[in-house]
Structure 1
C-alpha cells in the first residue's frame, strides 16, 4: 500500500467511523434541565429520592423536582378542561388576557408559531390562560382563538375562577401575576391592571418544568422549539 493510498483510505474511513460512533453513542446524551427542586420543610435541604436510570437500568439517588399540580378550568368552547387532558403530553403554558394591547398579542403570535411548527405532533399541546377571567368568557376566548387560527385539541384558551388561576400561576407555574386594582381602585386601564409574566413555560410528561422562555422574543421562542425537540429525543432514547 502506497503512502497516498493510506492517506486516501484514512480520509474516507474516519468520517464514516465518526458518523457511526455518533449514531451509536450520541443519541443518549441529550440533556435538558428540570426546574424548581423540592425543598424539605423540616431540614431546608433539597429532597432526594431513588429513581431508576433508564439509560443504565440502575437505581440511583436523584433530586426531587416540583410537579405542576392538577387543575380544572374552562376552555374556549365552554367545556370543562381538566389537566388530565395533558397526561403523557408535553405542553407549553402562557398567561395573557384578551383586552391586553401590549405584550399579549406578541406572546400569542409566538405561540401561534409553536402551533405551526408542531401542528402534526400530537404529543405537544399549548395552553393560553387568561389572567382576566371575569371579562374573558369562553365566547371572548373563542373569538380571540379564531383570530390566531388556534386548532381544536391542540391549543387551549382557558378561563375560570380567579381563585384558581392566580395561585396556579404563582405557585404552580412559578411566574409572577398580580391584579393592581386590588391595591389601587383608581386603576382602570386593563394594561395597567393585570401585571403578568411574558414567559412561556415548557412542561414535560411528568409535569416537571423544563424551561422558561421570553414569549415576546423570537430567538428565545426558537430556542424553545429546539428544546421541545430535544425533550422528545430524550423520551425516544428512553424507550
Structure 2
C-alpha cells in the first residue's frame, strides 16, 4: 500500500477541534488602499468531474457538506476492495444525513466509464447522490489528488494494475478545508474517521 502523505501541517490552538491540514497560502489583497499579504488556509479548489449518473460534479456540489474523498479504480487488485468495504461503512453510518457526502475519484478513467462506475456503485448497494463516483481527465484527477488532497495518485507500470495510489480517506469540512487523513484500508482508521465526522458536525452546531 502506498503510504499516506503525512507532510501536513496543522494550525490553530490545541483544542478539541480538529486541526486544519495543509500549508497556509499567501494571498495579496488591498486593505485601506494598501496592498498587504495575508495567509489563508489550504482549501480544495473548484473542480469539474462526471458522476456515475452522467452529470457534472463541481466543488459547488459539496457546498454546505462535510465530505470524505478517496481515490480508487474498479479493477484495482490490491487495496481498493478493502477501501470500498470501509467506505461502505461510512455510507451506512451516515446514510440520509444531508450534511455528509462521499466522493470517490477513479484514477483509471480510460476504463472506468460512467457506465462502469454506475454498475460498481449499484453492486455496492449505493443509491441516491450521497456517495458519488466520479471520472474525468486523468491529469485533472491526479492533480487534485496530489496538490489538493495531498495524497499519492500516479501511474506506475510496475505496480499492480499500473497505478499507485494512497489508501487514504480525506475528511473535508464545509469550507473545503482538509481536516483529517485516515487509513481507509483498516477498520481502526475508519472508526477514527467516523468519530471525527461526528466531532466536525458538532463544530457546526456550536
**Separation in 2, partners of 1:112, 1:122:** 17
1:157 is aligned to 2:143: no
Q: Write 1 or 2 for the structure with the bigger share of helix.
A: 1
Q: Write 1 or 2 for the structure with the bigger share of strand.
A: 2
**Separation in 2, partners of 1:192, 1:121:** 35
TM-score, normalization: structure 2? 0.84
**Separation in 1, partners of 2:138, 2:175:** 26
Give structure 1 stretches of 5+ with no counterpart: 1-28, 43-47, 50-62, 182-186
Please point out which of 12, 19, 42 is paired with 1:33: 19
TM-score, normalization: structure 1? 0.73
Which structure would you say has the larger Rg?
A: 1
Matches within 5 A, 1:131-142: 131-142=107-118
Please say if residues 30 and 234 of structure 1, whose CA atoms lie closer than 8 Å, have aligned partners that are also in contact.
Answer: no
Alignment-derived partner of residue 232 in structure 1: 201
Superposition CA RMSD, Å: 2.0
1:212 is aligned to 2:181: yes
Alignment-derived partner of residue 198 in structure 1: 167
SS of the residue 1:212 aligns to? strand
**Separation in 2, partners of 1:92, 1:65:** 18
Matches within 5 A, 1:29-178: 30-40=16-26, 64-178=40-154
SS of the residue 1:206 aligns to? coil
**Separation in 1, partners of 2:26, 2:122:** 45
Give structure 2 stretches of 5+ with no counterpart: 1-14, 29-36
CA deviation after TM superposition for structure 1 residue 192, in Å: 4.1
SS of the residue 2:60 aligns to? helix
Moved over 3 A (4+): 39-42
Alignment-derived partner of residue 11 in structure 2: none
1:221 is aligned to 2:197: no
The higher-RCO structure (CA 8 Å, 6+ apart) is 2
Instruction: Give the total of aligned pairs.
Output: 185
**Separation in 1, partners of 2:22, 2:127:** 31
SS of the residue 1:91 aligns to? strand
Alignment-derived partner of residue 25 in structure 1: none
CA deviation after TM superposition for structure 1 residue 216, in Å: 0.4
SS of the residue 1:31 aligns to? coil
